[in-house]
Structure formats: C-alpha cells, structure tokens
Amino acid sequence: MKKISKKNIARHLRQEQTPAEEHLWQLLRNRQFEDLKFRRQHPIKKYIVDFCCLEIMLVIELDGAYHNDNYQKEKDDLRDAHLRGLGYRVLRYPNKIALENTQIIYDDILKRKEESTPSLLREKAGMRVLSTKKLKPNQRELLLNAGVSFVEYDAISIAPIDFEIPEEIENIIITSQNGAKFFINKLKTLPLLEEKAEARYFAVGEKTTALLEENNYKVAKTAQNGAELGHFIVKNHKNGHFTYFCGKQRRDELPTILKEAAILCNEIVTYETHLNEQSFIQKFDGILFYSPSAVSAFAKANKINKAFCIGNTTATEARKYTDQVIVSNATTIESTIAKAVNTLKKLTS
C-alpha cells in the first residue's frame, strides 16, 4: 500500500477544518493579527499542527472533547514536549474558546510576540551553522532540539581504489572509518587467513575502532590522531612490522614518526578523496568540520570565521585559515555538534 505523505494529509485536513479551526483561521490568515504570518495544518517533523507561526516559533492547537480522555492527554503531553524541544511554544485551547472568546488567544499570541522580540529572534539569527557532512537523523535532532538552524552538504566524496592485502601480515594500522570500511569489504572477498585474524590492529578514532570490533577485529590501541598513534608504536612496538591501510591523501604525521624511528611500514592505498568546492552566500556563526580534507574543500571557495573541529588533526588544518578553532571533546560527530551548540549558546546568552 502506498504511504500517504504528510503534505497530502495536511492538504486534506485543510479541506476538512472544524468550525473552530475555520473561525480562527479567518481571523489569523493573511497577517491580519499583528502582521504575523500563520500557517494552518502545518507539518513539523512527524506531527501536523493546527496553526503555526514560524516568526515567533508558536504552535496553536484547538482541542475537541476527545482530548479530555486521559490516554489522549498523555499523547498530547508527549507531542507538546517534543515540539518544545524543537524550540516552539505550544498553546492549547478548547474549541469553545476559539468560537466564543478569541480575545484570550489574541492576548496569548501578543504576549509570545513581545517575548520573542528581540530575544528569541536574536537567538535564532545568532545560531546558524554549516555542517560539511550530511548528518544522520539523530545528529540533526541534536541541533534542532537546541534551536540551532543549519545547512549541510558533503564537502568531500570518497571513491574506493582496488588494492591487495598481503597474505602475511603482523600489525595493521587504520586511521579512518573509510579505511576500515574498504579494508573490511576487501577481506570479505578473500579467504579469512589465520594471520589476519590474529593480527594486531591499531586505529585512530573511536568510530574506526567500533567498526573494526563490530566485525570481530580486536583493536590493540585506539589513538585520537595519527601523531599520538605513531608515538605509541615507537614506544611499545619498535621492532614490529606494520601495514598501513590509508587514503591517497593521508596525513604525513604518522608515517614520518615511524620512518624517523626506522620502523618498517608498508602503505596500501584503499581510497581517494575528492574535494567538493561549493560557495555559500549565507553567513554562518560556525562551520562543523570532520576531516582536514573537508576544511580544504570548504576553504577553496569560502572564508572560515569560526571552526568546530572533530579532532586536533582537523583543527591543525583549520588554523591555516582562522584563529577561531574549537576542538570537540571526543572524535565523534555528536561531540562536535555538542561543542558547537554549547559554545554558541554561551555567546548568545
């Protein structure tokens, strides 16, 4: 059965308005009250609200008698809590109020407008970021629930390169999720040799480690960046032989540290990174960067004001273009978003 879109549901609801909804709509439509633009039966996330004014982040719901049911009240409370988490003020009225005492609704709307000017509007205008990677739904929620508007695009694209895995292998270095992904996919096409199963794995980043361990490859050491991993190997595995599965545009720190310590390291390129240049006219209060390549791609066509970086390696690249660099507490996208939200809130409070 074909799923009906929220847009079509909203269109149907506009055609089937209750008398109370129709009465209030005639009073609010076309900016008739306080020059505020209201929308009726407006989709917000998984909900469709009766009336919404985006200028002051206000939702108005008109309730029939069935909303007095305890089960329905619980659903309404959860719905309102979610909408408040997205930054909306939710006002609920019985249908009787909308039909017989509209002045109550007028007074509440006016109060919300006064509260929103200039504090709420200034906050909205001052919390706008750009993510240099398309985010997952749960990551978008972190920004939306904090009232931060955002734009997202993929600053880089990844293409695999055909490569071979040596039959005899002792220590494996993987410094990115992409490297881990292409390495694991390659192994799936080959007989799983005992040497590979027993090899020691060294990784950079928690997500890289998680991906390896999800596929039953035990990681002996997880570092925050390549330099940290290089120094660890020099100190603890100076006589080892290493195979480094990396990208074509890999950083120099790790290979340089191993080379200076005369540690044998065979590099195998598994993928290449393409920079996607895109110019933005909008002004952003912060740019979220998750890799040095993303910094390079964005900087080719734009000026960087404030950079929120997933780790120190990305931050080092960002400092070539701005002195306003903030590093996340952990090398995850979620941590980078949280750092940006907390920093921007302090600036606008």
Domain count across the chain: 3
Q: How far apart are CA 6 and CA 32, in angstroms?
A: 27
Q: How far apart are CA 81 and CA 60, in angstroms?
A: 14
Tokens 């928690």 locate to: 206
Q: Are residues 295 and 150 in the same domain?
A: yes
Q: How far apart are CA 64 and CA 71, in angstroms?
A: 14
Residue 286: inside a domain: yes
The domain in which residue 332 lies consists of 128-155+276-348
Tokens 């629930």 locate to: 145
Total-model pTM = 0.55
Q: Are residues 151 and 284 in the same domain?
A: yes
Q: How far apart are CA 128 and CA 135, in angstroms?
A: 15
pLDDT at residue 121, as a whole number = 41
Three-state secondary structure call for residue 226: helix
Residue 121: inside a domain: no
Domain boundary among 274, 301, 317: 274
Q: What is the dihedral of CA 315, 319, 325, 327, to 10 degrees?
A: 10
Domain boundary among 231, 256, 274: 274
Q: Are residues 284 and 329 in the same domain?
A: yes
CB 275 within 8 A of CB 156: yes
Domain boundary among 85, 115, 145: 115
Residue 317 CB contacts under 8 Å (≥ 6 apart), including other chains: 289, 292, 295, 296
Q: How far apart are CA 99 and CA 297, in angstroms?
A: 57
Q: How far apart are CA 225 and CA 223, in angstroms?
A: 6
Task: For helices 177-187 and 206-214, give the axis angle rounded to 10 degrees.
Answer: 20
pLDDT at residue 76, as a whole number = 85
CB 18 within 8 A of CB 62: yes
CB 223 within 8 A of CB 206: no
Q: Where are the beta strands (DSSP E) in the chain?
A: 39-44, 47-53, 58-63, 89-94, 128-131, 149-152, 156-160, 171-174, 200-204, 219-223, 242-247, 265-275, 286-289, 307-309, 325-327
Q: Are residues 26 and 98 in the same domain?
A: yes
Q: Are residues 146 and 282 in the same domain?
A: yes
Give the model confidence (pLDDT) of 144-155 as tens digits. 878 788 889 999
Q: Are residues 141 and 287 in the same domain?
A: yes
- The enclosing domain of 236 has a CATH number of 3.40.50.10090
Q: Are residues 150 and 284 in the same domain?
A: yes
CB 156 within 8 A of CB 272: no
Would you tell me how many other CB atoms lie within 10 Å of the CB of residue 274? Answer: 11
CB 176 within 8 A of CB 294: no
Q: Cis (ω within 30 of 0) for the bond into 166? A: no
- Give the chain's residues under pLDDT 70: 1-15, 116-126, 191-198, 348-349
pLDDT at residue 120, as a whole number = 45
Measured in whole angstroms, how far is the alpha carbon of residue 276 from the centre of its chain?
Answer: 19
pLDDT at residue 125, as a whole number = 45
